[in-house]
Copies of this chain bind each other. A is one copy, B any other.
Amino acid sequence: MDQLKVRFLPHDRTITVPVGESLIRAAMAAGVHVNASCGGEGICGKCRVLIEEGEIIGGVTERLSAADIEKGYRLACLSKLSGDVTVRIPVESSIDTTALSRQYTPRQTAKIKTIDINTLKEQGIFIAPVVKVYIELPPPNAQDNLPDVTRLIRALKQKGDWHKLELTLPVIRRLPAILRENNFKVTATLVKAVRKSGKTRIINIQPGDTTVENYAVAMDIGTTTIYGQLINLDTGESLSEFGDFNGQISYGEDVISRIVYAEKPEGLKKLQEVVVASINKILKKIIAHAKIDRENIATITLAGNTTMTQLLLNIDPRYIRRAPYVPASTHYPPFSASSLGIDLDEHVTALLFPDISSYVGGDIVAGVMGSGMYRSEELVLFMDIGTNAEIVIGNKDWLACTACSAGPAFEGGGVEFGMRAAKGAIEDFSIDPLTCEPMLVTIGDVRPKGICGSGLITMIAVMFEAGIIDSRGKFDRSLNTSRIRQNNGIWEYVIAWAGETQIDRDIALTELDIDNLIRAKGAIYSGCMTLLEEVGLSVDMIERIILAGGFGSYIDLERAMTIGLLPEIDPEHVTYIGNGSLLGARMSSLTNKIRQDVIEVTRRMTNFELSETPSYMNNYVAAMFIPHTEIGKFPRLYERMKTKGK
Contact = CB atoms under 8 A, between A and B. Distances in A.
Contact of A324 (B145, B316, B324, B332): B145
A329 B173 CA distance: 9
Interface in A313-336: 313-316, 318-319, 323-333, 335
Given A142-B609, A197-B197, A173 B328 contact: yes
A328 B145 contact: no
Nearest to A325: B145
A173 B142 contact: no
A141 B324 CA distance: 5
A95 interface: no
Interface in A130-164: 140-151
Interface string A193-211: 0000100000000000000
A318 B609 CA distance: 62
Contacts of A235: none
A608 to B, nearest CB: 11
23 contacts: A140-B324, A142-B611, A142-B612, A145-B357, A147-B329, A147-B330, A147-B355, A148-B328, A149-B328, A149-B329, A150-B329, A151-B326, A167-B329, A168-B333, A169-B313, A169-B314, A169-B315, A169-B332, A173-B313, A175-B329, A176-B318, A177-B316, A197-B197
Contacts of A173: 313-316, 328
Contact of A172 (B151, B315, B612): B315
Query: Top 10 A-B pairs ranked by shortest CB distance?
Result: A149-B329, A145-B324, A176-B328, A147-B330, A172-B329, A147-B327, A140-B326, A142-B324, A148-B328, A142-B612
A52 interface: no
A176 B142 CA distance: 58
Nearest to A168: B333
Given A149-B328, A149-B330, A316-B177, A335 B169 contact: yes
A166 interface: yes
Contact of A148 (B166, B177, B326, B357): B326
Contacts of A331: 149-150
- How many copies of the chain does the oligomer comprise? 2
Interface string A71-109: 000000000000000000000000000000000000000
A615 to B, nearest CB: 16
A201 to B, nearest CB: 9
Interface of A: 140-151, 166-169, 172-173, 175-177, 197, 313-316, 318-319, 323-333, 335, 355, 357, 609, 611-612
Contacts of A167: 329, 333
A609 B145 CA distance: 10
A302 to B, nearest CB: 14
Contacts of A140: 324, 326
A358 to B, nearest CB: 8
A326 B151 CA distance: 10
B326 A175 contact: no
Contacts of A609: 142, 145
Given A142-B609, A143-B612, A176-B319, A327 B148 contact: yes
Q: Which of A143, A314, A327, A328 is most buried by chain B, counting CB atoms within 10 A of its CB?
A: A328
A266 B593 CA distance: 45
A332 B172 contact: yes
Contacts of A315: 169, 172-173
B145 A326 contact: yes
A349 to B, nearest CB: 13
Contacts of A330: 147, 149-150
Nearest to A166: B333
A353 to B, nearest CB: 15
A267 to B, nearest CB: 15
Contacts of A142: 323-324, 609, 611-612
Nearest to A268: B173
Nearest to A612: B142
A142 to B, nearest CB: 5
A485 to B, nearest CB: 47
Contacts of A324: 140-142, 144-145
Q: Which of A315, A318, A326, A327 is most buried by chain B, counting CB atoms within 10 A of its CB?
A: A326
Contacts of A144: 324
Nearest to A355: B147
A160 to B, nearest CB: 20
